[in-house]
Amino acid sequence: MNETANKPDKKILIILILTILILTICVISTISAFRKPESRYVLIIQNNQIIQEIRLDSAENQEFKILSADGGYNLIRIQNHEISISEADCPDQTCMKTGILRSENLPIVCLPHKLIIRFAEEGEFS
């Protein structure tokens, strides 16, 4: 009787282990990218300068406009303690398509207006 017929091929075993490892890394990366932030503080940064600091859990529903140096604008919306860009005159509208800021790892960015909205730690901007 041939004993090698019962043993798994080493190549198949290596491929299986690598596949499981890659899938595990993908799942962990996805979970960490979309996890809810512990911080409720948000920084609005334009041209590498903090222009506004907001504590979302105490912020009232509001909209306000941020003007850029090129004459463009972004309309920021705070609603139900969440922040997003509701309107912008940039060509690609990526900042609006990002939607509500939900993750520490995925800020809202408007490259044409050099604007970033991101979560921050409580003492980070003091």
In sequence order, which residues have a C-beta less than 8 Å from that of residue 86 and are 6 or more positions away?
63, 75, 76, 77, 96
Number of domains making up the chain: 2
- Measure the CA–CA gap between 86 and 78, rounded to whole angstroms: 9
Q: Which sign, positive or negative, has the C-alpha torsion 53, 38, 56, 93? A: positive
Q: Which residue has the higher pLDDT, 95 or 4?
A: 95
What integer pLDDT is reported at residue 47 of this predicted model? Answer: 94
Same domain, 67 and 49: yes
pLDDT digits over 30-87, tens only? 777 666 656 689 999 999 999 999 999 889 999 999 999 889 999 999 999 999 999 9
Same domain, 115 and 75: yes
- Domain range for 28 is 8-33
Model confidence at 121, pLDDT cuts 50, 70, 90, reads: confident
- Measure the CA–CA gap between 90 and 109, rounded to whole angstroms: 11
The pTM of the full predicted model, rounded to 2 decimals, is 0.69
What share of the chain has pLDDT > 70, as a percent? 84
Written as six digits, the tokens of 57 are: 């859990």
CATH number at residue 115: 2.60.320.10
pLDDT digits over 20-30, tens only? 999 999 888 87
Same domain, 24 and 61: no
Per-residue three-class SS string for 39-102: CCEEEEEECCEEEEEEEHHHCCCEEEEEECCCCCEEEEEEECCEEEEEEECCCCCHHHHCCCCC
